[in-house]
Amino acid sequence: MAIADILSALITKEGTLTGNPVAPFAYSSTAFANDDADGHSDYNVARENNIPTADPDVLDVNGTVLAKGFRSQASSLTRMLMNHFFGRASYNLNKTVEVMNSLLAGLSSALGANNGIATLDSSGKLSSSQIPGEIVTSVNGVSASNNTVDITGEDINVSSSSSTKVNTALATLQSNIEAEATARRSTDTTLQSDIDDLETADQTLQTNIDTVSANLASEVTKITSCFHVHSVTINTSDYTSSDANQYYYRVSLPFTMRDTNYSVLGFAGYNLKSGSSTTVTNPAVFEDVFYFNDLLVAVYEKGTNYITFVTPVPSSYSKIFLNFICIDNY
């Protein structure tokens, strides 16, 4: 396959990647177009690029996590950590494809440029049209089939000294042609090696893109599937069991958790038996505990499809309202 054909095929592949970029995250199209790639230590909504640096303090994560990964469980991913990995992966991958595309286009354009090298025929020999006319003015036997000149006394009418000059000039020309051909073959070999390296790099880049895309899709699936929201109203008289003024209420979940190692976050409100109700404004949210005024509700037992709550219900309450989120600790 010719070098130009190889470059054309690579440019076609790069064009497909360029037309199917990774979606931007934490940066705008303006930042990408202006090569605004530097990370930042803070978040500024007015800035075109909000990709954080890889500093553990900026990402609000322990440096060991960055070096080793999560050992067992991770209850949450910080906002800056997600902005860094999603933003940096998207920006760097898209910018690498853009640079590779420009490089291949430049190589393709340079390959066809006029470089002053004489045109050779299919046999690698100099075409007769490339030989200066003054050298062969009196030569009758120029063969178009093999690009050779028959220099004999019958074919030329020149003096002995002129014949010597012609032979010397032809020998020098042939030597120059062979030197140029050798240099051209060396250049072609080097260029082919560079193209092979580019193809290898392109395959590695595509593999990396596929891996990162798969990892990102897996993380997004985990993140979006680990939050489950539920609200429930409990009649205080409908407790499952009680002991020592502690009342237990078992609530069925409309979803199934992966296991019982999950967190429950939420807040509570209540209705008084007199008929008045209390709503919660700006509640404090604690893990596995619901607290409001003199009402305290705690998680007693977690199942994959139920939660048992425990509370010392005052006699003045008729209903308890619980709004909570179950979060998988994967």
Tell me which residue range forms the domain holding 269: 227-328
42-92: per-residue pLDDT in tens? 999 999 999 999 999 998 888 888 888 877 766 667 888 889 999 999 999
Instruction: Single out the residue of 273, 313, 222, 276 nearest to residue 322, CA to CA.
Output: 313
27-53 mean pLDDT:
93
Q: Which residues contact 140 (CB under 8 A, 6 or more apart)?
A: 155, 156
273-320: pLDDT as tens digits: 766 666 554 455 557 787 777 778 889 999 999 999 888 876 777 888
Using DSSP's 3-state secondary structure scheme, residue 53 falls into coil
Q: Specify whether 108 is located in the same domain as 232.
A: no
pLDDT band at 153 (very low <50, low <70, confident <90, very high): very low
Q: Are residues 236 and 99 in the same domain?
A: no
Residue 211 vs residues 89, 92, 205, 218: alpha-carbon distances, Å: 11, 14, 10, 11
Q: How confident is the model at residue 4 (pLDDT cuts 50, 70, 90)?
A: confident
Question: How many CA atoms lie less than 13 Å away from 160 in the CB half-sphere?
Answer: 0
Give the CATH number, domain containing residue 321. 2.60.40
Residue type, 158: V
Residue 136 lies in a domain: no
Region 95-118 average pLDDT: 76
Question: What is the crossing angle of helices 160-225 and 3-18, to 10°?
Answer: 20
Same domain, 221 and 314: no
More confident residue, 124 or 207: 207
Average pLDDT over residues 197-204: 90
Comparing CA positions, the residue from 325, 79, 327, 323 lying closest to residue 226 is: 327
- Buried/exposed code over 17-38 (b: 16+ C-beta within 10 A; e: otherwise): beeeebeebbbeeebbeeeeee
User: Does residue 69 or residue 33 have the better pLDDT?
Assistant: 33
Rounded average pLDDT over 204-228:
82
Length in residues, the chain? 330
Question: Is the same domain home to 257 and 307?
Answer: yes
pLDDT score, position 2: 67
pLDDT score recorded for residue 63? 82
Let me know if residue 14 belongs to a domain.
Answer: yes
Residue 179 placed within a domain? no
Q: Please indicate, yes or no, if residue 296 is contained in any of the structural domains.
A: yes
Asked whether residue 40 carries a pLDDT value surpassing 70, the answer given is yes
17/78 same-domain check: yes
Residues 28 and 48 both lie in one domain:
yes
Q: How confident is the model at residue 134 (pLDDT cuts 50, 70, 90)?
A: low
Q: Which residues, in sequence order, are bridge partners of residue 299? A: 309
- pLDDT over 90 percentage in the chain: 24
Angle formed at CA 248 by CA 243 and CA 252, multiple of 5 degrees: 155
d(CA 195, CA 134): 42
Report the number of distinct structural domains present in the chain: 2
Select from 229, 323, 316, 232 the least CA-distant residue to 277: 316
Q: What is the pTM of this model?
A: 0.36
pLDDT of 142: 52
Q: What is the model's pLDDT at position 159? A: 64
Q: Shortest CA distance to 202 belongs to which of 304, 67, 104?
A: 104
Q: What is the mean pLDDT of the chain?
A: 80
What integer pLDDT is reported at residue 305 of this predicted model? Answer: 94
Do 209 and 251 belong to one domain? no
Q: Is residue 131 part of a domain?
A: no
> pLDDT band at 244, cuts 50/70/90?
confident
